[in-house]
């Protein structure tokens, strides 16, 4: 049975909370089960046809996060505000304004999900554009971080012309802008890292990135409103099959590609945390800039996140 066919009744709040407890303990990360319960029970009531995904970083003692991927008709930012999960600070207000303006300016979009720290609650909200938005049009948003306008020429030199996702971190006061990555290559990685002083990237890391998957998706850039350059940037390999390494062997559907090595912190997590789906989708990200290079890990918990987002996008395009 495919993940999209798994009935909503298969999800168990209590099982998820136990997995959160085990995962946080394995990662040596803080955890507040009462706070996590508040949002997961809301998911269970309103969005259980959506997706839950775990997220972690290779930085020791960094937080364990979960991402709730929603349905197009669910405004998760509004739900989080109603539940008291959104900070009432000038930083959060600016981040919310950025998202609201993008949503109003580009109506063919939806809140594809939100990230929650298992200890502190809501962190980040994501807005997906059904069709990539031209960078020039995106820069017309009044609340866009000024650095994006200042560095437009540099970004366009590196073939960034379309935006696919906008996100805002309501705690850290930063904006994430995801650009279409048209031509992944070692030369591109060297050039982009050199642009911001984030290199050099080891040859082994570049090879691992480029040989990991046929689907790289986008490049995420992180900006604040008080700096003219990105704080960091990240490239992703998605649709990885750590559950089916045979797919990468000669004759397999992913022959010629190679699974990236996972940080041992992620291995500790996988040893103790289960899943509530019959197929687990994985993603790895390589982040450069502050606070230094590190690896990100994403693992679906309910349903196939990539397939879910594609289905929601298709449903909007078909209207």
pLDDT per residue as tens, the chain (319 positions): 333 333 444 789 999 999 999 999 999 999 999 999 988 998 888 777 788 999 999 999 999 999 988 666 677 778 778 878 788 888 889 999 999 999 999 998 888 889 999 999 899 999 999 899 999 999 999 999 999 999 999 999 999 999 999 999 999 999 999 999 988 999 999 999 999 999 899 999 999 999 998 877 789 999 999 999 999 999 999 889 898 899 999 999 999 999 999 999 999 999 999 999 887 889 999 999 999 999 999 999 987 666 666 665 565 555 5
Q: What is the DSSP letter of 184?
A: -
DSSP alpha helices (H): ranges in 33-134?
Answer: 33-46, 76-82, 90-105
The set of long-range contacts for 74-78, using a CB threshold of 8 Å and a minimum separation of 24, is 74/46, 74/47, 74/50, 74/111, 75/111, 76/47, 76/111, 76/113, 76/114, 76/125, 77/111, 77/114, 77/125
Q: What does residue 224 show for φ and ψ, rounded to 5 degrees? A: -120, 165
| CA of residue 175 relative to chain centroid, distance | 13
Domains of the chain: total: 1
* pLDDT value at residue 319: 55
Give me the pLDDT at residue 316, please: 53
Residue 184, exposed/middle/buried by CB under 10 A (0-12, 13-18, 19+)? middle
| CA proximity to 110, closest of 66, 29, 164 | 164
At 2 the pLDDT is: 36
Any idea which residue has 């940080």 for tokens?
263
* pLDDT value, residue 64: 98
Structure tokens at 140: 């017309």
Alpha carbons 302 and 63: distance in angstroms, whole number: 20
Structure tokens at 31: 């955890």
Give the 3-state secondary structure of residue 110: strand
Provide CB contacts within 8 A for 18, sequence distance 6+.
Answer: none
Range(s) of the domain holding residue 64: 3-317
Chain centroid to Cα 81, Å, comes to 21
Could you identify the residue written with the tokens 């930085």? 59
Q: How far apart are the first and last CA of the chain?
A: 28
Separation of alpha carbons 23 and 20, rounded Å: 5
pLDDT given at position 83 = 77
Distance (Å, rounded) from C-alpha 293 to C-alpha 109?
31
The count of other CB atoms within 10 Å of the CB of residue 147 is: 20
Whether cis (ω within 30° of 0) applies to the bond prior to 126 is no
Report pLDDT for 7: 42
| Residue 118: predicted pLDDT | 97
Q: How far apart are CA 118 and CA 89, in angstroms?
A: 21
């Amino acid at each position: 049975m495919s993940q999209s066919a798994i009935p909503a009744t298969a999800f168990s709040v209590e099982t998820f909370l136990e997995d959160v407890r085990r995962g946080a303990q394995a990662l040596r990360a803080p955890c507040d089960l009462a706070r996590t319960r508040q949002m997961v029970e809301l998911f269970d009531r309103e969005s259980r046809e959506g997706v839950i995904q775990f997220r972690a970083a290779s930085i020791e003692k960094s937080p364990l996060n979960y991402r709730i991927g929603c349905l197009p008709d669910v405004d998760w930012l509004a739900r989080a505000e109603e539940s008291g999960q959104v900070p009432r600070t000038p930083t959060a207000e600016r981040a919310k304004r950025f998202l609201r303006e993008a949503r109003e300016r580009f109506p063919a979009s939806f809140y594809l999900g939100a990230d929650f720290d298992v200890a502190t609650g809501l962190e980040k909200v994501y807005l997906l554009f059904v069709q990539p938005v031209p960078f020039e049009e995106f820069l017309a948003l009044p609340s866009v971080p000024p650095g994006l306008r200042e560095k437009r020429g540099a970004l366009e030199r590196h073939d960034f012309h379309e935006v696919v996702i906008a996100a805002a971190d309501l705690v850290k006061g930063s904006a994430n802008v995801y650009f279409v990555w048209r031509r992944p290559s070692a030369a591109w990685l060297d050039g982009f890292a050199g642009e911001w002083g984030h290199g050099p990237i080891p040859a082994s890391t570049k090879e691992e990135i480029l040989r990991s998957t046929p689907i790289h998706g986008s490049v995420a850039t992180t900006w604040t409103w008080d700096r003219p350059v990105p704080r960091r940037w990240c490239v992703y390999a998605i649709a990885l099959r750590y559950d089916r390494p045979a797919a990468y062997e000669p004759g397999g559907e992913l022959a010629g590609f190679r699974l990236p090595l996972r940080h041992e912190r992620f291995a500790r997590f996988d040893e103790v945390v289960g899943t509530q789906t019959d197929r687990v989708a994985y993603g790895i990200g390589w982040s450069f800039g502050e606070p230094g290079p590190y690896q990100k890990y994403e693992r679906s918990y309910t349903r196939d996140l990539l397939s879910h987002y594609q289905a929601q996008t298709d449903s909007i395009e078909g209207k």
